[in-house]
Structure 1
Amino acid sequence: MRPLILLTLLTASAGAQSLGFSKAKDSAQADFDRSKEELSKVQVEIGKEKEPLNRELSQLEDKLRQLQDQYAPLTRELDAAELNYSNLKNQVKLATEENSYLTNILDEYTKGFESKVHVSEMQLYRGDLDKAKMAAENDKTPLKERFLTQVSLLKSSITRLGEIIGGTIFAGKAVDSQGFVLDGKFALIGPMALFSTADGKSAGIAMPQVGSAMPIVRSITPEINAAISVLANTGKGLLPLDGSLGAAIKDFVTKHSLLDTYKHGGPIMHPLLLVSILVFGTALERIFFILREKKRRKPKDVLAILDAVEEGNFDQAIASGKKSLDYVARALAHALAHVETNISDALGMSASMEIKRFKRGFFVLDTGMTIAPLLGLLGTVTGMMGSFAAIGGDMGAPTAITGGIAEALIATAFGLVIAMAGLVPFNYLNNMVEDAEHELEVAASKLELIIEKNKKHEEELRHRHRAELAAEDGSKAPAAQQAGNLKPVTA
């Protein structure tokens, strides 16, 4: 309506300008009155239209208040639900943290369970332990299943505590020292685990062994083994006590005699024993021989021979040497009696004969010291072959694996010990032989110098030797002729 009024006023203003100021005033007044009337009409129409709108607005406000009254409880319920959701969320978070904490504790308990119980008890709890380990190691395992398997192991542990108080007896399997699996009963009493077969033939202390999930039975004395058998099979009897908390029994069962070590070395120990007897027997015999020969040394006999040769009395020199126990005197006498070409060759032959006596048996020593480590190496190979065969075959007897390795090490050790122990007397004997060679060389040099002063002496010795050979041939000929003239005797 206002634009219409403004338009009218503008029109009136334009007319007033053309008709004059008076006419413009009248026209404007008329237009104003007319516009006023129209405005009144418009206001009346607006008033008529406003009344239903007010009623409608009032109705809408009433409806809004009703809707607000209906929405208020829902708002309160929503706020309460949000508060409950927040509380539940916090509770879930707290429960998750507690569950993770408990799961970690159970994981640690599962990992340490096997080290906390005796190896013989694992035959009872192996199933629950393996399930708990697999559930803990598998990331895809549901948390509930993981928790239940670990709780099952925990329940078994609690049951075990109730059973082990005062001792418990249960059936199981163990391995003897030879690697055979035995069926019998275990008796757990405090820190001790006793085992016995039903017949009582195999009884002793059950102990863990490296690389095996099965305990090994260590036999004690026959009296203690009999008491253990009665206790394990009947639950009553004498209990072997160890005041050192197991240290004494452990020291007893782990101590092996030389015979036990020999048995564990395997079949290769027999030839090693033979070689050791030959080596040490030969070494002792040679040492006694050389010490005896050194004790028999008489430098006076050697000087007597040299003096007799210098005087040209060869019969006396040879006779003195043959009577003497001194090996140097015997060598000089033998050389004087067997000069074929020259005295140097005869002395060399005599010295070599004496040295040969000294070196008798050295071949056995040298061969024994050489073959002993080789036999030990052979035992190593055969022992390792047995171990690898056990790995590829029956894994239920792990002692066969460790036994093969022990056999290999024992055989090698014995072979090295024989070689090293034989090396000391061998070097000593070689040193003694060198001393004997030196003494023979010194005496031979002196004798050779004495003879070279007069070549006639050497020629006389050669004639003497030829005469002796001819005499020996002459004595043999009549004997052969006499034997040929014999006639057979007939019955």
Structure 2
Amino acid sequence: MQLLSEAGWPILLLLVASILSLAIIIDRALALRTSLIVPKGLLETVIKLEQSGSLSKEKLENIAQQSALGAVLTVAIRYRHTTRELIKEAIEESGRSMVMRCEKNLPMLGTIAAVSPLLGLLGTVVGMIILFGQDSTLTAHAEQLSRGISVALYNTAFGLVVAIPSMIFYRFYRSRIDFFAVEMEQQAIQLVDELTKYRDHGLS
């Protein structure tokens, strides 16, 4: 209540933005773990299972549900009896779907990072309006001066406090997703090469 009294109503908007930002940051930190996106050794495991003929439908479903890479690789397995071009198209479509899932709520985080300084500026403007109010008595003017400066500074500072971490994490998560996308594509291509080689060898 003291913060609201000193910073004015614009701080409420920034408080809401900060809560949303923190929730998204925590959510993406949990969702974008390497073990959930591109777990180590999965490609080698899938290749061995496929070559040994022990890759059952149940195992495929389990692999697909455990990670984003698993979902992409299982698509390649399901299309293994088609042409290489069809396999790659299916992989690309699955990869895009996984990337979109990884990007969940990131646009909102980017929006918060962009809008928070503007909300802080709104608070600054409100503070200036209070500062240059119409009451002309000396005591009232001193109170208006103090409150106006308080509102302006609180909102400006809080806007930056919300915006800076939001932008840092937005950029970090975007970079992480781009890395995961490249990694999934490279491993999927390796699987396609192995499937094609294994199929051609079986036909010869």
- Give the TM-score, by structure 2 length: 0.81
Take 2:56 and 2:49, find their aligned partners in 1: how far apart are those partners? 5
Q: Counterpart amino acid of 1:421?
A: P
Aligned 8 A contact 1:306 1:317 in 2: no
Take 2:70 and 2:36, find their aligned partners in 1: how far apart are those partners? 14
Q: Tell whether 2:27 aligns with 1:285.
A: yes
Take 2:147 and 2:5, find their aligned partners in 1: how far apart are those partners? 11
Instruction: Give aligned-pair identity as a percent.
Output: 23
Take 1:435 and 1:318, find their aligned partners in 2: how far apart are those partners? 29
Aligned 8 A contact 2:95 2:184 in 1: yes
The Cα of 1:312 is off from its aligned counterpart by 9.1
The Cα of 1:380 is off from its aligned counterpart by 1.0
Aligned length: 194
Q: Which residue of 1 aligns with 2:128?
A: 384
The Cα of 1:319 is off from its aligned counterpart by 4.4
Q: 2:119 aligns with which of 352, 368, 375?
A: 375
Aligned 8 A contact 1:301 1:320 in 2: no
SS at 1:360 equivalent: coil
Take 1:355 and 1:336, find their aligned partners in 2: how far apart are those partners? 20
Q: Which residue of 1 aligns with 2:55?
A: 316
Equivalences for residues 20-35 of structure 1 within 5 A: none
Residue by residue over 1:126-155, the C-alpha shift from the partner in whole angstroms, topping out at 9 and shown as x without a partner, is xxxxxxxxxxxxxxxxxxxxxxxxxxxxxx
Take 1:446 and 1:432, find their aligned partners in 2: how far apart are those partners? 21
Take 2:31 and 2:111, find their aligned partners in 1: how far apart are those partners? 20
Q: 1:269 aligns with which of 5, 8, 11?
A: 11
Aligned 8 A contact 2:21 2:166 in 1: yes
Question: What CA RMSD, in Å, does the superposition of the two structures yield over aligned residues?
Answer: 2.8
Q: Tell whether 2:43 aligns with 1:302.
A: yes
The Cα of 1:370 is off from its aligned counterpart by 0.9
Change in CA separation of 1:443 and 1:323 when aligned onto 2, cut-off 3 Å: same
Take 1:337 and 1:285, find their aligned partners in 2: how far apart are those partners? 31
Aligned 8 A contact 2:75 2:94 in 1: yes
Take 1:346 and 1:331, find their aligned partners in 2: how far apart are those partners? 9
Q: Which residue of 1 aligns with 2:150?
A: 406
Q: 2:174 aligns with which of 430, 434, 439?
A: 430
Q: 2:67 aligns with which of 326, 332, 354?
A: 326
Q: Counterpart amino acid of 1:380?
A: T
SS at 1:393 equivalent: coil
The Cα of 1:428 is off from its aligned counterpart by 2.8
Q: Which residue of 1 aligns with 2:95?
A: 351
Residue by residue over 1:35-80, the C-alpha shift from the partner in whole angstroms, topping out at 9 and shown as x without a partner, is xxxxxxxxxxxxxxxxxxxxxxxxxxxxxxxxxxxxxxxxxxxxxx
Q: Higher strand fraction: Structure 1 or Structure 2? A: 1
Residue by residue over 1:406-436, the C-alpha shift from the partner in whole angstroms, topping out at 9 and shown as x without a partner, is 2011111100110112233223322322332
Residue by residue over 1:98-147, the C-alpha shift from the partner in whole angstroms, topping out at 9 and shown as x without a partner, is xxxxxxxxxxxxxxxxxxxxxxxxxxxxxxxxxxxxxxxxxxxxxxxxxx
Take 2:113 and 2:147, find their aligned partners in 1: how far apart are those partners? 27
Q: Which has the higher contact order (CA 8 A, sep 6+)?
A: 2
Aligned 8 A contact 1:318 1:336 in 2: no
The Cα of 1:290 is off from its aligned counterpart by 1.7
Take 2:197 and 2:170, find their aligned partners in 1: how far apart are those partners? 41
- Structure 1 gaps of 5+ residues are 1-258, 458-491
Change in CA separation of 1:294 and 1:430 when aligned onto 2, cut-off 3 Å: farther
- Give the TM-score, by structure 1 length: 0.36
Take 1:306 and 1:317, find their aligned partners in 2: how far apart are those partners? 13
Equivalences for residues 174-253 of structure 1 within 5 A: none
Take 1:319 and 1:335, find their aligned partners in 2: how far apart are those partners? 16
The Cα of 1:455 is off from its aligned counterpart by 7.5
Residue by residue over 1:191-234, the C-alpha shift from the partner in whole angstroms, topping out at 9 and shown as x without a partner, is xxxxxxxxxxxxxxxxxxxxxxxxxxxxxxxxxxxxxxxxxxxx
Equivalences for residues 82-161 of structure 1 within 5 A: none
Q: Which residue of 1 aligns with 2:105?
A: 361
Q: Tell whether 2:180 aligns with 1:441.
A: no
Change in CA separation of 1:346 and 1:290 when aligned onto 2, cut-off 3 Å: same
- Structure 2 gaps of 5+ residues are none
Equivalences for residues 3-42 of structure 1 within 5 A: none
Q: Which residue of 2 aligns with 1:205?
A: none
The Cα of 1:306 is off from its aligned counterpart by 2.4
SS at 1:342 equivalent: helix
